[in-house]
């Protein structure tokens, strides 16, 4: 039941990805250790193996944060269990160790703007279940191992310690629905495995590499043409337009397109220099926001060129989080700061 709940929450969170705070983007590594508790009884044909209630667990992962709230990772985990007794017989002993490799998909709910960030996830993979000295089973002992399909559900919280480092705590439910073993006496035994964990760990995100600024396009100087004596030129007064953007977006809204169209019409009336300054709010990392502000300036430039303004007249620059219209604390989204300023002279 727990994995189905997590998968449903993950699908819901994915639909919000285009409109919310996304956090740091890029490669990350994580490690966690904690409590392996209350494992379910494992079937052993007609008997059941009951485990001790508590033991330890550990896991490590390498993943990538996509910058839209989603994270994809490859996880390696290990958890031991001691057999407490085997039903149908007097007593029972042995060890069961589980080494799993999982592919996890997780979603961080950054848009909630809480002191801690909730996340949910689900994973599928394989588990190597190693049974050592489980006895008595079918009048014999199991010293065997098998690899089976595994899946898990995850729900947790993360707390940012620095821009790149976060502390995590989460609950995980792991299931291996079908494995088979052979006793020392030659009897085949069908079994399963399921357990719970509370894990505490750290996650370090390296961040995506900065996107290089586009190289300036040089234009050949026009050949001089003989002209009559020029009439007095009246220089137009400097003009400024401001184009606002949706959260974490660089595409133009219909209102933004109308403003850019007005700016293009003004540019054709004699303005010879147009400067586009892209800006972003302080939600997300400064490195990510610098690239986002450049993409916004590039979108406005592309629209001006489509409307007939020469690219030789346009220069772009990325301001990132600098020079906000409305000063805010780090991590706070602010619509007035998500903009491109169009300055014409």
The answer on 122 and 253 residing in a single domain is no
Q: Which residue's structure tokens are 């999982």?
A: 102
pLDDT, one tens digit per residue, over 8-23 is 443 333 333 333 334 5
The answer on 263 and 184 residing in a single domain is no
pLDDT, one tens digit per residue, over 275-325 is 999 999 998 899 999 999 999 999 999 998 998 888 788 899 999 998 898
Helices marked H in 202-282: 254-267
For residue 254, what are the domain limits? 239-344
The pLDDT, as a whole number, for residue 230 is 63
Segment of 160-164, 209-213, 229-233 carrying the highest mean pLDDT: 160-164
Beta bridge partners of 217: none
Q: CA-to-CA distance for 151 and 307, rounded, in angstroms?
A: 53
- Quickly count helices (H) and strands (E) in the chain: 3, 14
In contact, 101 and 76? CB cutoff 8 Å: yes
pLDDT, one tens digit per residue, over 39-93 is 999 998 888 889 999 999 999 999 999 989 999 999 999 999 999 888 867 678 8
pLDDT, one tens digit per residue, over 114-154 is 999 999 999 999 999 999 988 888 888 999 999 999 999 99
Three-class SS state of 56: strand
Q: ω into residue 244 within 30 of 0, thus cis?
A: no
In contact, 126 and 168? CB cutoff 8 Å: no
Burial level of 15, CB count in 10 A (0-12/13-18/19+)?
A: exposed
Burial level of 167, CB count in 10 A (0-12/13-18/19+)?
A: middle
CB neighbour burial string for 111-139, b if at least 16 within 10 angstroms, e if fewer: beeeeebbbbbbbebebbbbbeebbbbbe
The answer on 107 and 51 residing in a single domain is yes
In residues, how long is the chain? 345
Helix axes 286-306, 254-267, angle to 10 degrees: 60
The answer on 64 and 160 residing in a single domain is yes
In contact, 119 and 72? CB cutoff 8 Å: no
Tell me 183's DSSP state. Answer: B
The answer on 196 and 246 residing in a single domain is no
Mean pLDDT across the chain, nearest whole number?
A: 86
Which helix (H) or strand (E) segment holds residue 14: the answer is: helix 2-15
The answer on 197 and 75 residing in a single domain is yes
Q: Is residue 99 part of a domain?
A: yes
Picking from 157, 156, 158, 190, the residue whose alpha carbon sits closest to that of residue 173 is: 156
The pLDDT, as a whole number, for residue 213 is 64
The pLDDT, as a whole number, for residue 195 is 96
The answer on 294 and 195 residing in a single domain is no
The answer on 157 and 34 residing in a single domain is yes
Q: CA-to-CA distance for 213 and 207, rounded, in angstroms?
A: 18
Q: Is residue 234 part of a domain?
A: no
Q: CA-to-CA distance for 336 and 331, rounded, in angstroms?
A: 15
Instruction: State the CATH number of the domain containing residue 48.
Output: 2.40.160.20
- Report phi then psi at 63, rounded to 5: -150, -175
Rounded to whole angstroms, the maximal C-alpha distance in the chain is 114
Picking from 124, 88, 84, the residue whose alpha carbon sits closest to that of residue 104 is: 124
Question: 124 is written with which tokens?
Answer: 């599928």
**Residue 224 pLDDT > 70, yes or no?**
yes
The answer on 103 and 11 residing in a single domain is yes
Q: Is the dihedral of CA 285, 291, 294, 295 positive or negative?
A: negative
Instruction: State the CATH number of the domain containing residue 299.
Output: 3.30.1330.60
The answer on 244 and 197 residing in a single domain is no
Q: What is the pTM of this model?
A: 0.56
**Of the residues 154, 188, 205, which one is the last residue of a structural domain?**
205
Domain count across the chain: 2
The answer on 169 and 56 residing in a single domain is yes
What confidence tier does 273 reach under pLDDT thresholds 50, 70, 90? confident
Residue 72: Cβ within 10 Å count:
13
């Amino acid at each position: 039941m727990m994995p189905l709940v997590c998968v449903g929450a993950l699908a819901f969170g994915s639909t919000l990805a285009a409109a919310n705070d996304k956090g740091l983007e890029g490669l990350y590594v994580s490690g966690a250790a904690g409590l392996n508790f209350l494992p379910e009884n494992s079937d052993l044909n007609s008997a059941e193996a009951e485990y001790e209630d508590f033991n330890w667990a550990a896991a490590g992962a390498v993943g990538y944060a996509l910058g839209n709230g989603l994270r994809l990772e490859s996880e390696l985990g290990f958890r031991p269990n001691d057999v407490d007794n085997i039903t149908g017989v007097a007593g029972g002993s042995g060890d069961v160790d589980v080494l799993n490799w999982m592919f996890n998909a997780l979603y961080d709910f950054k848009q909630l703007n809480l002191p801690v960030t909730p996340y949910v996830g689900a994973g599928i993979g394989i588990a190597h279940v190693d049974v050592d000295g489980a006895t008595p089973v079918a009048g014999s002992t199991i010293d065997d191992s098998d690899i089976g399909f595994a899946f898990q559900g995850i729900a947790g919280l993360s707390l940012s310690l620095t821009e790149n480092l976060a502390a995590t705590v989460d609950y995980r439910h792991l299931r291996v629905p079908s494995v088979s073993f052979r006793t020392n006496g030659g009897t085949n035994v069908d079994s399963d495995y399921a357990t719970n964990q509370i894990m505490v760990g750290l996650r370090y995100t390296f961040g995506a590499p900065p996107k290089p600024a586009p190289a300036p396009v040089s234009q050949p100087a026009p050949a001089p043409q003989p002209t009559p004596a020029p009439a007095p030129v009246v220089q137009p007064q400097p003009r400024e337009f401001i184009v606002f953007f949706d959260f974490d977006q660089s595409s133009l809204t219909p209102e933004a397109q109308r403003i850019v169209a007005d700016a293009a019409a003004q540019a054709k009336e004699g303005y010879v220099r147009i400067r586009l300054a892209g800006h972003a709010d302080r939600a997300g990392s400064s490195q990510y926001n610098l690239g986002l502000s450049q993409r916004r300036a590039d979108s406005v430039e592309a629209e001006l060129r489509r409307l007939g303004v020469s690219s030789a007249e346009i220069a772009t620059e990325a301001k990132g989080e600098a020079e906000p219209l409305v000063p805010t604390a780090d991590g706070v989204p602010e619509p007035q700061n998500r903009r491109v300023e169009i300055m014409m002279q």
